[in-house]
Amino acid sequence: MTLVGELMTGLVTGGSSNTPEWVTIVTVLVAALVGTGGVSALIKARSDKKLGIAASERAEQDAVNNRWLAIIEAQTKSLLEPLQAALAATRAELESHKLSSKEEIAALNRKLEERTKKYWSAISHIRTLYTWIGRHMGDSVENTAVPEPPATIMEDI
């Protein structure tokens, strides 16, 4: 017979003469708890409670993290996306106006030619005006202070 069986038999029959009754009862209860997994059930229940608390804390932390993630994503959309769109538009505009080096040199040469023509046309007109003033004002030119042309065009006139 096993120990538990003996203890149960002793409990039912009133126990042996050597063992006090309370020791027998406690021994039977301890044996029943250990034998049926009661202690391990209590330990597991305590562990499950701790795991439940940890899981709820983890869930709360995940909720806080998700809120912050939503805030960051909203700020990204409202702040960065318009800036990225403006930058892309600026790049596209620059690309559309971009000329090759040969085209740019040709455009600059055309502008230079145009300004050179205007310059020499202005010099020619100034010469004509000086001639006209000399013919029509005659002696009074000497008494009239005619402004001197700028030094940069003095030799061209």
118-135 average pLDDT score: 87
Q: Are 110 and 144 in contact (CB under 8 A)?
A: no
**Cα 32 from Cα 8, distance rounded (Å):** 10
pLDDT of residue 108: 92
pTM (predicted TM-score): 0.34
Tell me the two tokens of residue 6.
Answer: 């003996």
Between 41-45, 132-136, 153-157, the lowest mean confidence (pLDDT) is in 41-45
The pLDDT tens digits for 64-113 are 889 989 888 888 888 888 888 899 988 888 777 776 778 888 999 999 99
The whole-chain average pLDDT of the chain stands at 77
23-39 pLDDT, tens digit per residue, is: 778 877 777 666 666 66
Contact 28, 8 (CB under 8 A): yes
